[in-house]
Chain A
């Protein structure tokens, strides 16, 4: 069951990305990104990163996607135009993309992906990244009968007896602690980056009122 959900989200992500890359109509390409973003959020959840998943939804679906679509609508005559990407001579493109595919496959399945891990009893266990991946906690919990019953009765929205502030914390508390300790400098730099982004956005997008318009608004007020 977990595997099934994983593949559904992976499928949504890949199809969304493919439509974005291939579709001739740019508005379709922009809207297809929605499925990619939601699919990636689902994959984050499956990797036990729920805070990241929600952030993905909030920033990408609620913000970036809207900005992209507004950007498309802002651009003259692009909405009905057919977009053709001319990347170069076809054989070169084919060789390049096949090469990239080969490199990715090699990185994923190849011997270099196999790394050594010292287990508790001192033995060196060799685990390939793929099997490592499938041994994630969620993957280990198959949707079998007893796991089903255990999950549903223990965690299925059942109210637990949380009385103090130390309730169910999840990843957000960990992220908060790390942001205020180990990653303090990046955290503060983020605010500077946001400041620069604010100023840049205003500078680029805001049209300075011409003298005529200023005179007009003054005479009106």
Chain B
């Protein structure tokens, strides 16, 4: 797994660089906080209501559908690097795999889950 050592070092470097960048303005920049300056920006108005409100369920549906299709893609990758060595059988298997998902896709399409309104 020595190929992953540079990756780990890059993680450390990225973190270090980020830490320096984020703190630079703390060291260099001015510090004159006022109450107005530290208030939430809402185009110059007093903030109305709360941000911690319920979000639309549409986002949740998108995330759920994403996970399902994501897992499908995860299964497609190991198939993609081997299918040509196995032949017609592997292709048939994948047609079956995707056909089943396609039924589900048609279902959610008809149900209107992909409708963003």
Residues of chain A at the chain B interface (Cβ within 8 Å): 5, 42, 45-46, 48, 50-51, 55, 58-59, 62-64, 66-67, 70-71, 73-77, 79-80, 138, 141, 151-152, 155-157, 169, 172-173, 175-177, 179-180, 184, 187-188, 190-192, 194-195, 197-199, 201-203, 205-207
- B108's partner among A50, A76, A176, A202 (CB-CB below 8 A) is A202
**B64 sits at the interface (CB 8 A):** yes
Q: Give A69's nearest chain B residue, CB to CB.
A: B63
Pairs across A and B, CB under 8 Å, 24 listed: A46-B1, A58-B74, A63-B70, A64-B67, A73-B55, A74-B54, A156-B2, A157-B3, A169-B81, A173-B82, A175-B78, A180-B90, A187-B75, A190-B75, A191-B98, A191-B100, A195-B103, A198-B68, A198-B105, A198-B107, A201-B65, A201-B68, A205-B61, A207-B57
- B104's partner among A76, A188, A198 (CB-CB below 8 A) is A198
Contact A74:B67 (CB < 8 A) given known A5-B8, A180-B86, A191-B96: no
**B37 sits at the interface (CB 8 A):** no
Please indicate the chain A residues that have their CB under 8 angstroms from the CB of B77 in the complex.
51, 172
Q: Interface majority SS on A: helix, strand, loop or mixed?
A: helix
What is the CA–CA distance of A191 and B6 in the complex, to the nearest angstrom? Answer: 36
| Number of A-B pairs, beta carbon distance below 8 Å | 146
CB distance from A53 to the nearest CB of B (A): 9
Q: Give B117's nearest chain A residue, CB to CB.
A: A217
Please indicate the chain A residues that have their CB under 8 angstroms from the CB of B101 in the complex.
191, 194-195, 198
What is the CA–CA distance of A64 and B68 in the complex, to the nearest angstrom? Answer: 10
Q: Interface majority SS on B: helix, strand, loop or mixed?
A: helix
Please indicate the chain B residues that have their CB under 8 angstroms from the CB of A184 in the complex.
93
Interface size class of B (residues with CB under 8 A): 35 or more
The answer to whether A67 touches B81 (Cβ under 8 A) is: no
What is the CA–CA distance of A80 and B107 in the complex, to the nearest angstrom? Answer: 37
The answer to whether A199 touches B66 (Cβ under 8 A) is: no
The answer to whether A59 touches B111 (Cβ under 8 A) is: no
Please indicate the chain A residues that have their CB under 8 angstroms from the CB of B54 in the complex.
73-76
**B113 sits at the interface (CB 8 A):** yes
Considering the complex, which residues of chain B in the window 65-117 have a beta carbon less than 8 Å from any beta carbon of chain A?
Answer: 65-68, 70-72, 74-75, 77-83, 86, 89-90, 93, 96-98, 100-101, 103-105, 107-108, 111-113
